[in-house]
């Protein structure tokens, strides 16, 4: 299923999107590695994965710059998604700057999908979208999206901006993380596209031993790799678009091929049946957050907001 209707927007886009995390900030990785990522993205586009997802937060804008280079000459055939993270102190000038910064780094005149990266209940979304909607009308934004919004946060947002249409929500969705995706898949309120990030569980692919056995068996049956089985299964779910990050050409080719893999309804059902969540209560004092000397974890929402740009 190479192309799929993008929620209720009326457009069809590539079923698998290319993720663009892990490029670091400028000067962090050698140029050779960045060139490799540019080649990988270009190859993915050549092979039909024309949906590309980035964010202004990735590498402080560096990921957008790299995407801008990779899309040179092929921008017109791509569906380009990026994100920004509004905070409550942002005024209309800041919002304009954020959008114009992304357009400049991406070397484009328009963004197909402009997404709010994380929910923040302190933000006055009405004012944010008032500014952004002018850009949509001017052609710099085609569709609006959100990321990491729960069903409750999504309906609160829709009430606050009743005239704005939200085309998609990007959430973690893979063989291990299903709770939120499942709620959205059965939701009567939100009918937008679901962009499944970390579809391969960040390279781990499966969650449990039983899933590993099932996915391996299906891989042998269809003569494909386990990751292709998982991507094809996600693709088979209505409104779901896996967004997978691959830096290696072998993985890119593998992922692009998965767009053409059709699993039988029985096999899709078997995988869906194995999609279980284990819910347990974790006492907050038993949760340990690991950080690095350069990057300390935030322990409260206030700390995170205090440190936002």
Ligand X SMILES: NC(=O)c1ccc[n+]([C@@H]2O[C@H](COP(=O)([O-])OP(=O)(O)OC[C@H]3O[C@@H](n4cnc5c(N)ncnc54)[C@H](OP(=O)(O)O)[C@@H]3O)[C@@H](O)[C@H]2O)c1
Nearer of residues 2 and 130 to ligand X, judged by Cβ: 2
Buried b (16+ CB within 10 A) or exposed e, 258-294: bbebebeeebbebbeebbeeeeeeeeeeeeeeeeeee
Q: Does 227 bind ligand X (CB under 6 A)?
A: yes
Q: Does 176 bind ligand X (CB under 6 A)?
A: no
Q: How far apart are CA 120 and CA 118, in angstroms?
A: 6
Nearer of residues 92 and 297 to ligand X, judged by Cβ: 297
Distance of alpha carbon 221 from the chain centroid: 30
Judge contact between 68 and 106, C-beta under 8 A.
yes
**Torsions phi, psi for 272 (to 5 deg):** -60, -35
**Contact pick of 13, 16, 21, 145 for ligand X (by CB under 6 A):** 21
Q: Map the footprint of ligand X across residues 251-270, applying CB under 6 A.
A: 251, 254-255
Number of amino acids touching ligand X (CB under 6 A): 25
**Closest separation in Å from C-beta 106 to ligand X:** 14
**Contact pick of 156, 212, 247, 268 for ligand X (by CB under 6 A):** 247
Written as one string, the DSSP assignment of 166-235 is: EEEEEEE-SSS--HHHHHHHT-SS--SEEEEESTTGGGT--SSHHHHHHHHHHHHHHTS-HHHHHHHHHH
Q: Does 249 bind ligand X (CB under 6 A)?
A: no
**Contact pick of 203, 276, 297, 309 for ligand X (by CB under 6 A):** 203
**Contact pick of 111, 246, 263, 271 for ligand X (by CB under 6 A):** 246
Nearer of residues 134 and 203 to ligand X, judged by Cβ: 203
Return the closest-CA partner of residue 61 out of 110, 28, 14.
Answer: 28
Stretch that binds ligand X, among 100-108, 158-166, 198-206, 288-296 (CB under 6 A): 198-206
Q: How many CB atoms lie within 10 A of CB 167?
A: 22
**Contact pick of 201, 208, 217, 270 for ligand X (by CB under 6 A):** 201
Binding-site ranges for ligand X (CB under 6 A)? 19-21, 53, 117, 147-148, 170, 197-203, 227, 243-248, 251, 254-255
Residues acting as catalytic residues = 58
């Amino acid at each position: 299923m190479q192309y799929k209707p993008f929620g209720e927007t009326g457009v069809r886009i590539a079923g698998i999107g290319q993720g663009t995390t892990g490029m670091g900030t400028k000067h962090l990785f050698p140029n050779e590695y960045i060139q490799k990522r540019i080649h990988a993205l270009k190859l993915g586009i050549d092979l039909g994965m024309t949906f590309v997802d980035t964010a202004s937060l990735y590498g402080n804008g560096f990921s957008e710059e790299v995407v801008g280079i990779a899309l040179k000459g092929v921008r017109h055939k791509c569906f380009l998604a990026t994100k920004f993270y509004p905070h409550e102190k942002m005024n209309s000038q800041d919002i304009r700057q954020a959008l114009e910064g992304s357009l400049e780094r991406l070397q484009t005149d328009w963004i197909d999908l402009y997404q709010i990266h994380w929910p923040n209940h302190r933000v006055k979304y009405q004012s944010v979208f008032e500014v952004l909607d002018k850009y949509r009308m001017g052609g710099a934004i085609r569709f609006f999206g959100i990321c990491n919004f729960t069903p409750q946060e999504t309906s609160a947002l829709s009430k606050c901006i009743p005239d704005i249409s939200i085309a998609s929500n990007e959430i973690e969705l893979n063989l291990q993380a299903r709770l939120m995706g499942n709620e959205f898949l059965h939701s009567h309120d939100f009918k937008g596209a679901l962009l499944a990030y970390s579809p391969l569980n960040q390279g781990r692919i499966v969650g449990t031993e039983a899933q590993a056995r099932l996915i391996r068996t299906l891989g042998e049956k269809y003569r494909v790799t386990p990751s292709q089985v998982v991507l094809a299964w996600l693709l088979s779910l209505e409104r779901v678009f896996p967004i997978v990050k691959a830096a290696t050409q072998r993985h890119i080719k593998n992922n692009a091929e998965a767009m053409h893999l059709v699993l039988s309804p029985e096999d899709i059902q078997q995988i869906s049946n194995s999609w279980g969540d284990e819910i347990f209560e974790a006492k907050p004092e038993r949760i340990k957050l690991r950080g690095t000397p350069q990057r300390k974890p935030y322990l409260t929402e206030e700390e995170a907001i205090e440190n936002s740009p």
